[in-house]
């Protein structure tokens, strides 16, 4: 009899324990192995969702996380996935015969990659250094981002007019940037716009909005706008759709 009572007590205890565990949200039963990594994943999500705005540097404890993301293959996979979504959208567009169907592309970390440069800057854990970046850009050695180069080529081949809009300074960086784009295969774009003295001191949103407005006033239909910064994709005259590429190394306010 005592044995039977003990069995009943054990059964009831197990049943209550199982019910208690099962009633908890699933995420509370999974203890993180590396708390730093999970914190950096949370920061990454908040940044890409534009919930953290105007941040200046990458949190120092996230250096290893950002390095692994940017150089370990996940970044390329994410870019390629977004490009697939863009190409799927492009395939549904009927290009007009008037030659006025347009796309907008940013340059830095949209067409051309600065990962090599930011490796020396601890992937954004160090404050932005405008003089060092200018020296890097003047070398004209930024490699193309393969997925975006492929997208660019398809857009041009399909009859779209591609406009490149960059925040790079016209007076100092135009020659090296033009040569860099050509060397990397970005040939056949309609127009490349740099930040001229007229836009000095204006925010990226205001500057790029005004350039897009000018393009639309010329009669172009902007079907899509691609950039790595939220400020590439905010403001006026954005076009029919916008596509955000990942960038965890810096934020352009």
Nearest Cα residue to 249 out of 83, 126, 78? 126
**CA 164 – CA 148 distance, rounded (Å):** 12
Q: Which two tokens stand for residue 14?
A: 């197990």
Cβ–Cβ under 8 Å, residues 65 and 45? no
Q: pTM here?
A: 0.85
Give the pLDDT score at 155.
Answer: 98
Domains in the chain, please, with CATH? 35-244 (3.40.50.1000)
How confident is the model at residue 15, as a pLDDT? 45
Q: pLDDT means per 10 residues in the chain (253 residues)? A: 49 44 46 72 95 94 96 97 98 96 98 98 96 97 98 98 98 98 98 95 96 98 98 97 98 93
């Amino acid at each position: 009899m005592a044995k039977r009572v003990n069995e009943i007590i054990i059964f009831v205890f197990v049943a209550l324990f199982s019910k208690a565990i099962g009633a908890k949200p699933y995420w509370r039963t999974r203890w993180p192995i590396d708390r730093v990594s999970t914190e950096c994943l949370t920061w990454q999500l908040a940044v890409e969702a534009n919930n953290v705005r105007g941040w200046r540097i990458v949190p120092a404890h996230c250096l290893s996380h950002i390095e692994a993301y940017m150089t370990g293959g996940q970044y390329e996979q994410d870019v390629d996935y977004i490009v697939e979504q863009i190409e799927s959208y492009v395939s549904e567009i009927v290009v007009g015969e008037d030659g006025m169907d347009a796309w907008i592309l940013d340059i830095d970390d949209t067409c051309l990659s600065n990962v090599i440069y930011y490796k020396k800057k601890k992937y954004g854990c160090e404050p932005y250094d405008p003089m060092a970046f200018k020296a890097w850009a003047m070398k004209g050695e930024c490699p193309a981002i393969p997925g975006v180069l492929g997208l660019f080529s398809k857009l041009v081949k399909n009859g779209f007019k591609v406009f490149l809009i960059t925040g790079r300074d016209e007076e100092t960086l135009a020659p090296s940037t033009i040569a860099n784009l050509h060397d990397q295969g970005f040939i056949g774009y309609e127009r490349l716009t740099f930040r001229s003295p007229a836009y000095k001191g204006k925010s990226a949103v205001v500057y790029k909005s005004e350039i897009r407005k000018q393009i639309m006033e010329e009669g172009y239909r902007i079907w899509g706008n691609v950039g790595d910064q939220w400020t590439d994709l905010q403001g006026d005259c954005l076009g029919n759709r916008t596509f955000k590429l990942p960038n965890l190394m810096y934020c352009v306010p």
